[in-house]
A and B are shown apart, each in its own frame.
Chain A
């Protein structure tokens, strides 16, 4: 019988410091482990604990995966201590991820904020792989300050492409920044897509997701076309432990990506 509580052994190949509190870990699982954009992994440090994270690398790369992690508590403190060669555990992939085939032929808007840019990176690779099948592709990203922008070089690379309408903003600018200043909703007014049919994906801190969702509604995006990547307390990751319930759903098993019409009536979704 399959043991769903068991982690697969993985080796830390490389650690990249993105910001003072964010690092990206390149991991090589010792058994076959693949995932789809939007799915998540339970990442454990032996003897320290386990927590859920969404990979940030291209899901087409099968041998390794990258996970970008902010230091916020005991387990992430232990993860930030990891060095190349260390052994960690991976359990997953868990959850359903983004229904990419539903995006075919449609205008796609991606709204990312803060560390939400990590899972959005995986999604963007997925969208770039299917770019020819999409109509317009729009990306709006925001962060508190320029130092917090993850993968800034890569984002700047994407901005040069002619198959994407992309803008980035920061809440507070500085000398290194010559782009827009303001929250992400302030760079959404010039989006030129067919809102009535467009698919919008929002991933970021709860407050940003809330206001981006309201902005999308205002622009005419349908609730059923707003895909939210929800963050709840997920322990088992497969709908048994009871922690992450949202109405009739479990965030882990039925999400973590939900359309807004599925969850809008339930309390506490933005907390």
Chain B
């Protein structure tokens, strides 16, 4: 086990800016949000819990030009991404996004490039968010895969684990920044993990979230339930839950309106919005708000388990935190089980 002091991490990140666009979480109100690391910039917080912005926003941009005229490629020479402080829930989001966007014939070129070239320096959670419930989705509040290097906060610095050759290479080429971890430090890491995990579990228990293995069955069984209509009463159809979700991947291809130039953009879309599934002829298979709400749950808790054997939810609780109608995904799942 290796240890890196906060000051040495500052140096490491500064050196990474040569090869990467390094994004760091910064304290913003009660939460953290990502922005680009500048020169001699040490004003970042690894963050107790996930940032308010989902990791997907770096790999699958909210609005991105994907085709121009009839040219075969969109040329981009951006440096690859380095994301610092990513939490386990967001990393789980990659299981869904990779499934959707990576494939031989129709893979998304910019997503695949960003995933292949990017560097992820993740971190353990050291607190429990108001809406966190990752443990209910069988995720531990510390990264176990999908990272190149992971930071476990301890006094004055971090215990470092590597998760890929890319991560190991960085450690090797920056040897002088790391020291051997003391036993007390690794114990502190384990202690923190145990405390945070039981904190999340307790919160999930208070909310009576159904056992993970039952979620698919519950959604299928309650497909015709009146609960959907009742919950939809509180929905204002803003789409914030979709935008903020680390696994929501729906998008619209939009051709820029101009005289004759073809410029095609891939723009995030929201399945909660009325016209999402409407066809040009006017038919709309989900013309009622409750049908769209149900569809969102069905996609996450039934569709993805069916096609990928993975739940399309990471327990990050962002949708609940963002909802102006105070719809709490945990409470909806609990209600569906009881009735």
Using CB atoms and an 8 Å cutoff, list the residues of chain A in contact with chain B: 1-9, 30, 44, 46-51, 72-73, 75-76, 87, 89, 205-206, 231-233, 235-236, 238-245, 247-248, 267-269, 271
- When distances are taken between beta carbons in the complex, the residues of chain A under 8 Å from B277 are 232-233, 243-244, 268
Asked if B109 CB lies within 8 Å of chain A CBs, one says: yes
Within 8 A of A (CB), among B192-238: none
**A44 in contact with B262 (CB, 8 Å):** yes
CB distance from B111 to the nearest CB of A (A): 9
- When distances are taken between beta carbons in the complex, the residues of chain B under 8 Å from A231 are 279, 281, 283
Knowing A7-B67, A47-B262, A73-B280 are in contact, say whether A243-B250 is a contact too (CB < 8 A). Answer: yes
**A49 in contact with B255 (CB, 8 Å):** yes
**B258 in contact with A47 (CB, 8 Å):** yes
- Select B66's contact among A5, A72, A87, beta carbons within 8 Å: A5
**B249 in contact with A6 (CB, 8 Å):** no
**Alpha-carbon distance A243/B281, docked complex (angstroms):** 15
- When distances are taken between beta carbons in the complex, the residues of chain B under 8 Å from A5 are 66-67, 253, 264, 266
**Alpha-carbon distance A48/B254, docked complex (angstroms):** 9
In the complex, residue of chain A having the shortest beta-carbon distance to the beta carbon of B68:
A6
In the complex, residue of chain B having the shortest beta-carbon distance to the beta carbon of A50:
B255
CB distance from A250 to the nearest CB of B (A): 10
**26 chain-A/chain-B pairs, Cβ below 8 angstroms:** A1-B73, A3-B109, A7-B67, A46-B69, A46-B262, A47-B256, A47-B258, A47-B259, A47-B262, A48-B255, A48-B257, A50-B264, A72-B280, A73-B280, A87-B260, A89-B262, A206-B283, A233-B276, A235-B253, A235-B269, A238-B106, A239-B106, A245-B295, A245-B299, A271-B284, A271-B287
- When distances are taken between beta carbons in the complex, the residues of chain A under 8 Å from B271 are 242
Asked if B36 CB lies within 8 Å of chain A CBs, one says: no
- When distances are taken between beta carbons in the complex, the residues of chain B under 8 Å from A72 are 280-282
Residue picked from B71, B253, B278, B299, most chain A C-beta under 10 Å: B253
Asked if B252 CB lies within 8 Å of chain A CBs, one says: yes
In the complex, residue of chain A having the shortest beta-carbon distance to the beta carbon of B286:
A268
10 smallest beta-carbon distances between A and B, as pairs: A268-B285, A242-B250, A238-B106, A46-B262, A5-B66, A9-B70, A5-B67, A47-B258, A271-B285, A4-B106
- When distances are taken between beta carbons in the complex, the residues of chain A under 8 Å from B69 are 46
CB distance from A6 to the nearest CB of B (A): 5
Asked if B52 CB lies within 8 Å of chain A CBs, one says: no
**Alpha-carbon distance A173/B276, docked complex (angstroms):** 38
- When distances are taken between beta carbons in the complex, the residues of chain B under 8 Å from A206 are 283
**Alpha-carbon distance A7/B260, docked complex (angstroms):** 14
**A51 in contact with B280 (CB, 8 Å):** yes
**Alpha-carbon distance A240/B287, docked complex (angstroms):** 22
In the complex, residue of chain A having the shortest beta-carbon distance to the beta carbon of B64:
A5
Known: A1-B73, A4-B107, A72-B280. 9 other contacts (CB 8 A): A47-B256, A47-B257, A49-B255, A76-B280, A87-B260, A235-B253, A240-B106, A268-B285, A269-B285
CB distance from A243 to the nearest CB of B (A): 6
- When distances are taken between beta carbons in the complex, the residues of chain A under 8 Å from B282 are 72
**Alpha-carbon distance A49/B255, docked complex (angstroms):** 5
CB distance from A233 to the nearest CB of B (A): 5
Residue picked from A232, A244, A267, most chain B C-beta under 10 Å: A267
Question: 0/1 per residue, B57-73, Cβ < 8 Å to A?
Answer: 00000000011011111
**B70 in contact with A2 (CB, 8 Å):** no
In the complex, residue of chain A having the shortest beta-carbon distance to the beta carbon of B277:
A233
In the complex, residue of chain A having the shortest beta-carbon distance to the beta carbon of B74:
A3
Asked if B307 CB lies within 8 Å of chain A CBs, one says: yes
In the complex, residue of chain B having the shortest beta-carbon distance to the beta carbon of A253:
B106
**Alpha-carbon distance A239/B105, docked complex (angstroms):** 12
- Select B101's contact among A48, A240, A245, A268, beta carbons within 8 Å: A240
- When distances are taken between beta carbons in the complex, the residues of chain B under 8 Å from A47 are 255-262
**A241 in contact with B280 (CB, 8 Å):** no
**A241 in contact with B259 (CB, 8 Å):** no
Asked if B100 CB lies within 8 Å of chain A CBs, one says: yes
